[in-house]
């Protein structure tokens, strides 16, 4: 495999140079901002499989080179019709751990998924605090706000939100606006002792949500800080992981957070990531309960309730996008579909102002 790293003033220029060096069949591995512009990493496999990876570059042409922001270069959306009937091939595509292959292929996929992984609902708010943990950028802050909004719009009292993320710039500001609209109390906790004092302020049976900094669980100092917070507040610990992670990495992350007390897995970015192997690896390796998942940047868009049938159908596809015939409908039930049939006409007045803050959370970097 040939790999190239290219830097340029603009993303378009960097990707054009990468296409020039590797050809139109190159695939994008990563991109990031650097001093002076952008850095992109691409690869070309001369021994590509029979069904090659999707190209992120169109064939080089003067028309593409002359357009300063060609969307064809920046985005690849696979066709929803490209479903793979070969389940084994589909599992390979998603990067499902080898240890699970034979088990998942031993019968109908819906049945083997249900037998291999655990599914269940999130713990009820109001019993113990819910603490959301995970690596940086996993989507903890947005998930906290989704849970808070659901609780309020389902008729519950406004929750207490504790921001223990004092590392990421703007973390408190991202929570402040939506918390005010929801009528929720937002408290800042710089230490585990401060978080314990904040929890003690909740009324009996009151809901508490704790947002934590993204950590590397393999760094002893960072792990100790999270363990101290968990020990002080005695919460239910939810691991938040984005879709699309490498399976081996996700499995190790799952085990590390499980050792610190995580019991549930909340996948995020199901609207953007195509491969589910990392999520499955974390759930299987660490024996975490697959519960609900985020598939939107909007605070008022519900978490999806995960099920064996939904996951089996997703594994058979090579895309996160539902077929055209069903795209207008939810491909999985949301938690509000299950819990609340009718909230009356007060919903719109609560939702509309919240929508203004969705972009703020997204732009802040913690999806």
Token digits of residue 261? 């007390």
pLDDT of residue 66: 42
pLDDT of residue 132: 96
pTM: 0.69
pLDDT of residue 102: 85
Of 363, 283, 358, which Cα lies nearest the Cα of 315? 283
pLDDT of residue 342: 37
pLDDT(144) > 80: yes
Q: Is 226 exposed, middle or buried (0-12, 13-18, 19+ CB in 10 A)?
A: buried
For range 330-334, the mean pLDDT:
55
pLDDT in tens, 145-190: 999 999 998 888 899 999 998 776 666 677 888 888 889 899 999 8
pLDDT in tens, 31-60: 778 888 888 787 776 654 444 434 443 443
pLDDT in tens, 316-328: 986 777 665 444 4
Of 128, 192, 197, 187, which Cα lies nearest the Cα of 160? 187
pLDDT band at 356 (very low <50, low <70, confident <90, very high): very low
pLDDT of residue 297: 85
What number of residues does the chain have?
367
Report whether 7 contacts 13 (CB < 8 A).
no
CATH class of 116-363: alpha beta
Report whether 131 contacts 229 (CB < 8 A).
yes
Of 21, 92, 25, 86, which Cα lies nearest the Cα of 55? 25
Q: Where in the chain is the domain with CATH 3.40.50.300?
A: 116-363
pLDDT(344) > 90: no
Least confident of 74-83, 266-275, 354-363: 74-83
18 alpha-carbon distance from chain centroid: 29
């Amino acid at each position: 495999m040939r790999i190239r790293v290219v830097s340029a003033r603009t993303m378009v220029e960097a990707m054009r140079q990468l296409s020039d060096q590797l050809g139109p069949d190159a695939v994008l591995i990563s991109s990031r901002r650097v001093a002076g512009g952008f850095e992109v990493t691409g690869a070309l496999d001369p021994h590509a499989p029979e069904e090659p990876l999707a190209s992120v570059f169109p064939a080089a042409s003067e028309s593409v080179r002359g357009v300063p922001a060609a969307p064809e270069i920046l985005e690849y959306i696979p066709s929803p019709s490209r479903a793979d009937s070969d389940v084994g091939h589909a599992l390979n595509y998603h990067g499902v751990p080898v240890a699970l292959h034979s088990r998942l292929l031993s019968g109908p996929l819906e049945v083997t998924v249900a037998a291999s992984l655990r599914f269940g609902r999130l713990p009820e708010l109001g019993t113990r605090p819910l603490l959301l943990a995970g690596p940086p950028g996993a989507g903890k802050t947005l998930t906290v706000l989704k849970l808070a909004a659901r609780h309020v719009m389902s008729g519950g009292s406004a929750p207490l939100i504790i921001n223990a993320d004092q590392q990421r710039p703007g973390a408190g500001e991202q929570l402040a606006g939506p918390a005010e609209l929801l009528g929720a109390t937002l408290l800042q906790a710089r230490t585990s002792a401060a978080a314990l004092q904040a929890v003690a302020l909740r009324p009996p049976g009151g809901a508490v949500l704790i947002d934590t900094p993204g950590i590397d669980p393999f760094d002893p100092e960072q792990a100790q800080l999270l363990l101290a917070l968990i020990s002080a507040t005695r919460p239910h610990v939810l691991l938040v992981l984005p879709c699309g992670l490498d399976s081996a990495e996700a499995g190790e992350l799952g085990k590390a957070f499980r050792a610190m007390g995580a019991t549930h897995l909340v996948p995020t970015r199901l609207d953007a990531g195509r491969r589910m192997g990392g999520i499955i690896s974390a759930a299987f390796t660490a024996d975490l309960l697959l519960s609900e998942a985020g598939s939107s940047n909007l605070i008022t868009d519900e978490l999806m309730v995960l099920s064996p049938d939904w996951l089996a159908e997703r594994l058979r596809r090579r895309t996160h996008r539902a077929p055209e015939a069903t795209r207008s409908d939810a491909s999985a039930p949301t938690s509000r579909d299950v819990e609340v049939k009718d909230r009356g006409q007060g919903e719109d007045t609560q939702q509309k102002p919240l929508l203004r803050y969705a972009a703020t959370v997204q732009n802040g970097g913690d999806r």
